[in-house]
Amino acid sequence: MGSFSPVHWLIVIVIVLLVFGPGRLAGVGKGLGEGIRQFKKGINEDATPEDDKANSPKTQLSEKKDEA
């Protein structure tokens, strides 16, 4: 029981195409890509809290009080 050979992978791909069809597989790929993109976007938003602090409402309110 070794690893899969390229012939085994080809057989698996053919069976998956027969069961799901190319249209449905394209939709699954698109959904997966959008999910990964949203995940990366969420990670990047959480990774930069300094930018959020600079644009927070408290900072803007204190700047307006100083101007008045």
Q: Map 23-39 to HEC letters.
A: HHHHHHHHHHHHHHHHH
pLDDT at 3: 85
At 1-48, the pLDDT tens digits run 578 899 999 999 999 899 988 889 889 899 999 999 999 999 888 876
CA nearest to 15, candidates 5, 25, 2: 25
Amino acid at residue number 8:
H
Q: Please give the angle made by the CA atoms of 16, 17 and 21, to the nearest 5 degrees.
A: 120
In the chain the domains, ranked by start, together with CATH numbers, are 6-67 (1.20.5)
Model confidence at 54, pLDDT cuts 50, 70, 90, reads low
pLDDT at 45: 85
pLDDT at 65: 57
